[in-house]
Chain A
Amino acid sequence: MKVRIDVDACVGAGQCVLAAPDVFDQRDEDGMVVLLLETPPPALEAAAEHAALLCPALAIAVDR
């Protein structure tokens, strides 16, 4: 699985960090999303997909 983020679209709602804290973080200086793992291990794939579903700004894409 490959995860992509669109920082320009992010509105810093933090849903991704709650859903998949090992895959996403937020920058301290502006609260925008940071991708920690571009290719999450299988154990984290479901959480990453859930984060993509939750993101209110459609800023996360997941390619299988």
Chain B
Amino acid sequence: MSETTVGARPDLAGFPTARDPRCPFDPPAEYTELRAQEGTASLSCPVGVEARVVSRYDDVRAMLSNPQLSSHAAPSTHVVAGGQLDRPVSPGSLLHMDGPDHARLRRLLTPEFTVKRIQAMRPYIQRLVDDHVDALLAQTGPVDLVSEFALPIPSLVICELLGVDYADRDRFQRQTAVLIATNSDPAALEQANLEVVGFMTQLVLGKLAAPGDDLLGRLIVRARESGQELSVEELVTLGITLLIAGHETTANMIGLSTLALLRQPDQLEALRADPGLAGTAVDEMLRYLSIVQFGVLRQATGDVTVGDETVKAGEWLVAVLSAGNRDESVFPDPDRIDLRREATAHLAFGYGIHQCLGQQLARVELQEVFARLHQRIPTLRLAVPFEEVEFKDDALVYGVKALPVTWDRAGEDAR
């Protein structure tokens, strides 16, 4: 996700990517076939290596909890033509670390993401969502829900988390939006990338000089006190990792799940009638949409067994999260959205030691969006024909490029 995400455009020759246009929420049909076959298939990946494609739920869990599989290559490098598989892991790059090094760093960060700590952010997130609904309602539709709602909310949540000054948040948000937009040209991307790294470096230097009561400040103090002082480089890499891992993912979930729900009026009606459903709804939509669409890459460091097969040291494996999440042996009627389903055991956040550190934060953000957006704008609907919505078929994180929506003006505000 970090390193290769910024600006990387996968070229997918040889890798299953074609979704059925009638249901662009379903993973490519090839995965259903792969799941049914015995063993694992080997596919040639755009990056230039063969990889075993692991698509059954139990096999994905077994694979991702195997300590002999290394994360050193970025999670989605297999689909990046020209991507580097043997780049040295930069210090602080949590997603790419293995074993004790990973554990040490993750433990320094974990207290910032506990269930309790994230619950304490809920009132802030509620206000943020309400403010953005207010801003939508102040306009007459159509409005692009992606640029006006889905992108800014998670970006501002990360500002709050990292302790970015209020005065700087607009600038931060503009730069991060360029990084994620699929239509940014390479020069603009490069520029935004440099600006975000510069921004993060300034932020880190400020926090090192005067650690405040925010994630970076507390992390700096915690690391110092435990004799594991973090360098500027490590702190900047961590900050960027949190930004990349937490912004694009959550933003795409907001846009894509809103569209999927608008296409399922009965489910949407149930959610509107009972916002308490948002809890299970969020995990069901994470399962159903599995936005880390090409799965996560690992390399065997020794001979290991995955499923019933032996994998030799040096071989590459891809855990296709979206395929595991549609495994009918675990999720009956897997292609149906059921907002009441107990789906927390889904694989959308991965599994094993790298399982999403920010998952509780993502859940709270999505719960507040699910509970508030449709309550407060009950007539929310698509402003263009469904066929005109463009999907990010070739981005590492799946989603919609834009989502033009509109609503009826009368009786709209049930705040």
Contacts and interface: CB of A to CB of B under 8 A. Distances in A.
A25 to B, nearest CB: 8
B359 to A, nearest CB: 6
A21 B119 CA distance: 13
In this complex, the interface size class of chain B, counting residues with CB under 8 Å from chain A, is 20 to 34
Contacts of A15: 344
A13 B356 contact: yes
B81 interface: no
Contact of A12 (B65, B113, B345): B113
Contacts of B112: 31
A56 B351 contact: yes
A50 to B, nearest CB: 8
Nearest to B279: A18
A14 B103 CA distance: 16
B344 A18 contact: yes
A28 B351 CA distance: 23
Contact of B114 (A12, A53, A57): A12
Interface of A, secondary structure class, is loop
B110 A11 contact: yes
B107 A31 contact: yes
A30 B345 contact: no
A28 B359 contact: no
Given A14-B360, A18-B344, A57 B352 contact: yes
A44 interface: no
A31 B103 CA distance: 12
Contact of A32 (B64, B110, B115, B116): B110
B286 to A, nearest CB: 13
B355 A56 contact: yes
A28 B112 CA distance: 9
B263 to A, nearest CB: 28
B356 A30 contact: no
Contacts of B311: none
B376 interface: no
Contacts of A58: 65
A30 B105 CA distance: 11
A54 interface: yes
B114 A26 contact: yes
Contact of A28 (B64, B116, B353, B360): B116
Contact of B111 (A11, A18, A28, A50): A28
B344 A12 contact: no
B402 interface: no
Interface string A4-48: 000000011111011101000011111110000000000000000
A13 B357 contact: yes
Given A57-B352, A58-B65, A31 B345 contact: no
Contacts of A11: 103, 106, 110, 353, 355
Interface string B341-365: 0001100011111011101100000
A40 B127 CA distance: 37
Contacts of A54: 344-345
Nearest to A14: B115
Contacts of B357: 12-13
Contacts of A29: 111
A30 B355 CA distance: 17
Interface in B39-72: 64-65
A26 B118 CA distance: 12
9 contacts: A12-B111, A12-B113, A13-B357, A14-B114, A14-B115, A17-B115, A18-B360, A56-B64, A56-B65
For the complex of A and B, the 8 pairs showing the least CB-CB separation, nearest first, are A31-B110, A12-B110, A56-B355, A26-B114, A17-B115, A31-B111, A14-B115, A31-B114
Given A12-B113, A13-B355, A28-B111, 9 more contacts: A11-B355, A12-B111, A13-B359, A14-B113, A18-B115, A18-B360, A32-B110, A56-B352, A57-B65
